[in-house]
Structure 1
């Protein structure tokens, strides 16, 4: 329901229906006014013709003949509810002939016309004339026919309008569904950028409108992006190979040198050199992982369901021994059956980096608490020294190393940066939270769905 309200196509159909209703209402009002005016003009014409005839009868036959003709006309049966009404009176308004009970508020001296009451519930158009010094005549035409005509007109507009609006809604919805399917193909291609065949098919089958132009540009953009990603991947792999290979050769030479059992001082320097080589290789792999995660941010292709509960529990079991050796207490509270679509290798790297970071900063005698809840919401909290205020804004930057008791901590400065990139790759957000009141009081890292 919410998606329907947000859809631009649903809003277009709703707008078309609303516009149809407004146009129908305007057309009904215009027709109503035109028909009403036409009926009144017809009544006015009939009154004028009838009045002219009676005036001619009076001029040729006198008052007695006029009274007889008025009596004859009053006696006629009304046709279709419409009838003429008459009143012949003297100058004082005394009724001489006709069916109107009293003289209306019309001035016969100026042949005034207007709408008068006929009986209790109806009206009519009337005109009054002065026939002689002591004789005046008013002729009225009932407008009772106007009500059923206008009622029938309203009913016809209501029924016709309902059919028209239904057709507009149906045709608009069919057109909107066609557009929505074409746009959805573009969205699907961006959600799965590795497969652009859907866009190619859409582009070839469309009629060459604006959506087709958007499809063509989108297909070109996705092809360009895939080419850039492929070039990046090839370059990264080649670079990693070119760096790892000489480093591996160098490490092998150091191993051979150590095998020759040099004196203690030289052996110590060789061991330090090997450690430095391993650090360089680890830094290189972390940088490549960060770049790959950022490049695939928002890309859901290649992800599969991962049992996060089992993964976190297994890593915590593995780290419990290291924590105990360091004099730390590691506790974990993992909700069962928490799953997420992701890359299991990267998620494992994310969890281990967060635990490595906690083990590095929490002094002996401290404790670390790991929590996993549905959502998923993954929290690593400790009672260590916390994060220096100067570091809070930069701890997720590459190569930035925080401080422990005011002193910079050793390391590559890539652990949290990599964790942050992996979280973004999976649509999650890694944030540093303020410790809760009564909590451990150290650092609290929270990973949850991005807002």
Structure 2
């Protein structure tokens, strides 16, 4: 089954979430604008109605005087229109004493400048009022109650809520469908990069019906992976041929040295020159063997690095059983060399990998530990669920200046120069670990060296 990205980290989930958020914000903004517009329009209409009513009253006063104005005020209060905002009036003298109208006290409005403002009526209702000076001892105030917009505003809010939910739902559905389709197309590319086999490359080569940027990316990815496969295959063939061409002459040379060594006198005391020649031939054979081992290690490292991420040939390996088998082999060697060998192997620990490479990984770490720990020291092998493999010892450890380069090729710690080796063992361990998506580390310890192998971190 193809591995999918965590839904919370998927860019398509983020795009859909942003689309939903933007749709919700736009709907909320439109509702807020509509609500404000309705209230502002009502306020402007109310101001206009108050001004028209006040102008009419002023005309009545100009043509009929204060008595006529009082009569008209009473008539209007008696015949309030049902479809308009209720009107209120106050005709008062210079001291604010009511002469006509239903408002019993003069509000804090300056009649001399025809001030407009909001007042509170005796029954607690709010109204928009405007006052004007009709004469030295006479002033008039006209007020209209605010229309109750609560029901209208609630209906508008409900309409926007329903419409917003529908819009958000439509955006979410359309975004989810588009994201699923795009995610499927991107997953084809990711799957090909995870397992660049012939079937995956064939899928990329076909492209899709959509001639867009993703289709172009798909085809380019397929071409790039195909070129990389060809290059990797050519590199493997070249390295195999080079290894064969180098190893064969070296083996022939070693055989010749063996034959030359056989022709020399067996007793070195009889012929000092022959004894010296035999010693030099033996040293030459050791050098040849060392070169062959180094060559094989370099090839193993290159092969492991080239196959990183390639799951071909992997199978479920019982690491617990593998560690137990290797522990039995090293237990006898530890007893002979005078080392204490401790085990802490948790049963049932498994890993998908190549058993031969995992065996090489563990044996390299154990070989290093037994090589550098003096007799009487302790080597400990631990295996826990995770999986987490630990090889620790109480030997001289790795000097602090050398720890950052201990896994580099041909790197050897300064206190280990006398132990031979080409400095490729830990490099091979790291290559094998990376091949299995594991991470090998040299962790700080109170004494000796401690190597841990655990799954690669997600970050």
TM-score bracket, shorter-length normalisation: 0.7 to 0.9
CA distance in 1, matches of 2:239, 2:335: 39
- Find the counterpart in structure 2 of residue 199 from structure 1: 204
Match of 1:448 among 444, 454, 459: 454
Seen in structure 2, the aligned counterparts of structure 1 residues 332 and 76 have a Cα distance that, compared at 3 Å, is same
Match of 1:208 among 205, 212, 228: 212
- Find the counterpart in structure 2 of residue 420 from structure 1: 430
Residues 80 and 87, structure 2, Cα contact 8 Å, conserved in 1: no
CA distance in 2, matches of 1:383, 1:55: 109
In the alignment, does 2:338 pair up with 1:332? no
CA distance in 1, matches of 2:373, 2:131: 109
How far 1:191 sits from its partner (Å)?
1.7
Query: Does the residue aligned with 1:196 lie in a helix, a strand or coil?
Result: helix
Residues 401 and 410, structure 1, Cα contact 8 Å, conserved in 2: no
Residues 339 and 377, structure 2, Cα contact 8 Å, conserved in 1: yes
1:129-168 → structure 2 map (5 Å cutoff): 129-168=132-171
Structure 2: state its 5+ residue gaps.
267-274
Structure 1: state its 5+ residue gaps.
none
Match of 2:383 among 348, 355, 372: 372
How far 1:343 sits from its partner (Å)?
1.8
In the alignment, does 2:302 pair up with 1:291? yes
Compute the TM-score of the two structures, normalised by the length of structure 2. Answer: 0.84
In the alignment, does 2:24 pair up with 1:21? yes
Residues 401 and 408, structure 1, Cα contact 8 Å, conserved in 2: no
Residues 313 and 334, structure 1, Cα contact 8 Å, conserved in 2: yes
How far 1:140 sits from its partner (Å)?
1.6
In the alignment, does 2:323 pair up with 1:312? yes
Query: Does the residue aligned with 1:205 lie in a helix, a strand or coil?
Result: coil
In the alignment, does 2:174 pair up with 1:171? yes
Aligned-residue RMSD, C-alpha: 3.0
CA distance in 2, matches of 1:155, 1:172: 25
- Find the counterpart in structure 1 of residue 440 from structure 2: 430
1:5-404 → structure 2 map (5 Å cutoff): 5-79=8-82, 82-194=85-197, 195-201=200-206, 203-209=207-213, 211-250=214-253, 263-264=265-266, 275-389=286-400, 391-402=402-413
Residues 391 and 450, structure 2, Cα contact 8 Å, conserved in 1: yes
How far 1:4 sits from its partner (Å)?
3.5
Residues 319 and 349, structure 2, Cα contact 8 Å, conserved in 1: yes
Deviations 1:288-309 (A, max 9, x none): 0111222233444543321111
CA distance in 1, matches of 2:444, 2:95: 100
How far 1:340 sits from its partner (Å)?
1.5
Larger mean CA deviation between 349-358 and 424-433 belongs to: 424-433
Query: Does the residue aligned with 1:5 lie in a helix, a strand or coil?
Result: coil
What is the total number of aligned residue pairs between the two structures?
442
Residues 366 and 384, structure 1, Cα contact 8 Å, conserved in 2: yes
- Find the counterpart in structure 1 of residue 269 from structure 2: none
How far 1:185 sits from its partner (Å)?
2.5
Deviations 1:109-164 (A, max 9, x none): 44333322223432222223344554433222111334443343333333333332
How far 1:336 sits from its partner (Å)?
0.7
Residues 13 and 172, structure 1, Cα contact 8 Å, conserved in 2: yes
How far 1:99 sits from its partner (Å)?
1.8
Residues 402 and 408, structure 1, Cα contact 8 Å, conserved in 2: no
CA distance in 1, matches of 2:145, 2:128: 7
How far 1:331 sits from its partner (Å)?
2.6
Residues 189 and 204, structure 2, Cα contact 8 Å, conserved in 1: yes
Compute the TM-score of the two structures, normalised by the length of structure 1. Answer: 0.86
